[in-house]
Amino acid sequence: MSALAILALAAAAAEPAAGQVKLPLRDYLALVESVESAQRARGATESRTEPSVAELISQKTSVVFGEDNAEVTSVYETDFRGPSPRPLPLPLTGIAWRVALEPPGPAAVRKSERGLEIVSPDAGRYRVTVQSQAAFDPQATGAQHVTLAAMSAPVSQAEVSLPAAHSWSCQGCVVVEDVTHDGRRVVRLALPRGEAVGFEARKTVKVIETAVASADVVTIVSLGVDGPRRHDVVLYEVSRGELGTMTVTLPQGLDPLRAATDEGEAPPALDGRELRIERAKKLTSGGYLALTSPLPDGPSMALPPVLPGVRVRARYLVLSLAVASNVQPLPQAAWIPVDLSDVPASIPDALKESGLVAAWRLRGEEQALSLSVSRLPAPAQLETEILHRDSLTLLTVDGTLLHRDRFTLAQSGAALVLKLPPDGTVWSCEVNGVAVRPIEGEGRVRIPLGLASAAGTLAQVVVVVPKVLPPGKSQLALALPEVDAPVLQHEWRLMLPAGNRYRYAGGDLRPVPPAATPVSITEPRAGVTIGTEPGQAQSVARGPGGRAEVRGRVTDRSGGTLPGAIVTLRATSTGQELKVVADALGLFFFKQLPAGDYTLRGQLLGFNDVDYRIHLQPLDAPAYALTLDIGTVTETVTVSAEPLNGRDYQRLALLADKKEAEAKQQAAEEEQRRQLSEMQRGLASGVKPVPVTIPEQGKLLVLAGALPPSRVGLTLDVKARKR
């Protein structure tokens, strides 16, 4: 074949057939790679696209029962993620008359066969509020019946409001809360999910009936110094109905002095032996009636029972003793001893505070009950009792001690017995101002009390102890003569030479502020302007609001200031209290007080409390001196308060000036001379006066206490002055 023929055949083979395209290999491979890349991108996009979801997140239904129908408010929270493929149903109670959609947008709410439904072409969250009315089921005779739509949301709540007098039922529901307020009853329910339930309310028919009640009867017998008393407490418990009248049949011989209920004092109405008390508010649960009656004194006290008009569940007998007695309820077989905690706790507090000591419970029926009382003999009286002991100790320059004791006797025996300190000697002795000779023996000194009188006895004894102060820096232990008789109140003053340094290291009595020079108080008058208020903030208190003021000063019996005393002002009507601490001058101040009655109390450790009862007018600004006594067995003294006038108040305030220290120093020196002169009176027969050197200047230490031990002493750290 020729070359020309071969080229023709090759050209014919290069022509593509019909319906085919010829491409270079490089272009063909690029086209294949482009197609594969597009397929991969389309697959990734399809994998990232979520399916469209429509969900009901929460559902709340509120139903308010009326006379003819129920008003229903339904709130739905919905969530659309992507275009909604189908409508989302909204379960509905009743017939809708108003629909609100928030926020407004492409979503729409429409009716459906089962109620309502919502559709949305775009993703979003929507809140649908539907108000509807539900007619009561006419087939529910005597009841108001409403079918509540099914709860399909994961968070669902149903709340029904109905009249408080209605009862209700809901089959298959769980009660979350059932409360009554302002005449309406509100019930919160947890409904079964996906299931419609019926809620039914019925009017409660109020049946007028006699109250069903019972009672515990507690009889409290109080044996006090003013005679026996009987308190009968009927503790009612109403289990059904209402109790408007408390009725009690009284036994013969029982005539109540007063009657009270849980509502307060109640005037009793007697019809023969039947006592009736009409209550202001009918009793529907627990309450009480308390009767207080006199009880004839004697070794046997009859206790006929009071008979309430209701069933008695139990009877108790409780004993309160203020005098020493042996008491036994009779007949013994009828009573079972019980603990006081077993007695019903609803006894009025006023009777609980009377000091209950024993209790019994009645076994069986009421019968002739009585109380056997055997009074114990009174304890033997002490021959000698000391009401007040006033001790004065003078330490002289040469170290000699002079003790002067004055004993105010509450009652007097044959003698007052003392035990002297080591090396002590009786210097002088007198009874009611008359010198007597003490009798010494067996380590004791007996002071004859033949000169005692019914009006009172004052015994004085002076004891000398030589050379007790050692030289240099040391401790000085001082002891007073021991006394066998009990002492109610003791005050001890020590006069020490100036120059040395003294520090209280301990003792049986406590140091108290020294007394200042007494100040005379003229007749007070109210409503006057008094000086300036205290400068320290802790001594000023402001009340709840008002224009009245109260100010004053805290002093001891001799007029000395008492800084640091706590002053309390208590309003009688409200019980509100204001407290301040007296400043360095003993001053206190209350401002912005409303008018009314108050109690002003002063308190300081080592002193008796004192109460002043005062009355304030709207613009009053009185001042008071609160006078505290050294502490005794008496805890609180109540006095009638009279305000100081401006002149006396300022005179008291001047006691705390710098000049006060100088006046005290001079008074201490004069007191030393005067006391030594008094000690030399009434010298015991045969005893020579001891020569002593009175210090030109001195220091004063005052100690006090109540019910001290028979031996009273103290320890001082002494550092001698440099010479």
**CATH number of 212-375: 3.30.2320.80, 3.30.56.10, 3.30.990.10, 2.60.40.1730?**
2.60.40.1730
Q: Which residues pair with 701 in a beta bridge?
A: 494
Residue 663 has pLDDT above 60, yes or no: no
Strand ranges (DSSP E) for 66-181? Answer: 69-81, 88-91, 95-102, 108-112, 115-119, 124-135, 144-148, 155-163, 166-170, 174-181
pTM: predicted TM-score of the whole model, two decimal places: 0.33
The answer to whether residues 115 and 92 touch, using CB atoms and an 8 Å cutoff, is yes
| Residue 383 exposed, middle or buried by CB count within 10 Å (0-12, 13-18, 19+) | middle
646 φ, ψ to 5°? -60, -40
Q: What is the pLDDT of residues 539-555, one digit of tens each?
A: 677 777 788 888 888 88
- The segment(s) of the chain belonging to CATH 2.60.40.1730 are 53-203, 212-375, 386-514+672-719
Write down the pLDDT at residue 674: 58
Residue 572 has pLDDT above 50, yes or no: yes
Q: What is the pLDDT of residues 291-324, one digit of tens each?
A: 888 888 888 888 888 899 888 888 998 888 877 7
Question: What's the rounded Cα separation, in Å, for the pair 699 and 496?
Answer: 5
Question: What's the rounded Cα separation, in Å, for the pair 589 and 626?
Answer: 13
Beta carbons within 8 Å of 431's beta carbon, 6+ residues apart: 447, 448, 449, 450, 451, 452, 457, 458, 459, 460
Question: In angstroms, what CA-CA distances link 672 with 519, 555, 696?
Answer: 21, 24, 9
Task: Check residues 263 and 519 and name the one with the higher pLDDT.
Answer: 263
Question: What's the rounded Cα separation, in Å, for the pair 14 and 7?
Answer: 11
Write down the pLDDT at residue 352: 62
- E strand or H helix that includes residue 401: strand 401-411
Report the CATH superfamily, name and number, of domain 53-203.
tricorn interacting facor f3 domain (2.60.40.1730)
> pLDDT confidence of 675, banded at 50, 70, 90?
low
* Listed ranges 218-232, 448-462, 659-673; the one with the highest mean pLDDT: 218-232
- E strand or H helix that includes residue 428: strand 425-431
Q: To the nearest whole number, what is the mean pLDDT of the chain?
A: 76
Write down the pLDDT at residue 530: 33
Q: What is the pLDDT of residues 370-383, one digit of tens each?
A: 878 777 665 554 56
- Quickly count: other Cβ atoms within 10 Å of residue 419's Cβ: 16
Beta carbons within 8 Å of 128's beta carbon, 6+ residues apart: 75, 76, 78, 90, 99, 100, 101, 102, 109, 116, 118
- Quickly count: other Cβ atoms within 10 Å of residue 577's Cβ: 13
Report the CATH superfamily, name and number, of domain 386-514+672-719.
tricorn interacting facor f3 domain (2.60.40.1730)
Residue 706 has pLDDT above 90, yes or no: no
Mean pLDDT of 355-364: 83
**Angle 225-228-229 from CA coordinates, rounded to 5°:** 125
The answer to whether residues 36 and 66 touch, using CB atoms and an 8 Å cutoff, is no
Residue 532 has pLDDT above 70, yes or no: no
Write down the pLDDT at residue 64: 93
Question: What's the rounded Cα separation, in Å, for the pair 543 and 569?
Answer: 10
Q: What is the pLDDT of residues 77-132, one digit of tens each?
A: 988 887 766 788 888 888 888 999 888 878 888 888 777 888 888 888 889 999 99
Task: Check residues 79 and 678 and name the one with the higher pLDDT.
Answer: 79
> pLDDT confidence of 21, banded at 50, 70, 90?
low
Specify the range with the lowest mean pLDDT, choosing from 189-198, 377-386, 611-620.
377-386
Residue 501 has pLDDT above 50, yes or no: yes
> pLDDT confidence of 354, banded at 50, 70, 90?
low
- Peptide bond before residue 331 is cis, with ω within 30 degrees of 0: yes
Task: Check residues 570 and 629 and name the one with the higher pLDDT.
Answer: 570
| Percent of the chain topping pLDDT 70 | 76
Question: What's the rounded Cα separation, in Å, for the pair 290 and 277?
Answer: 11
Q: Can you give the C-alpha Rg of the chain in angstroms?
A: 49
CATH topology of domain 537-644: Immunoglobulin-like (2.60.40)
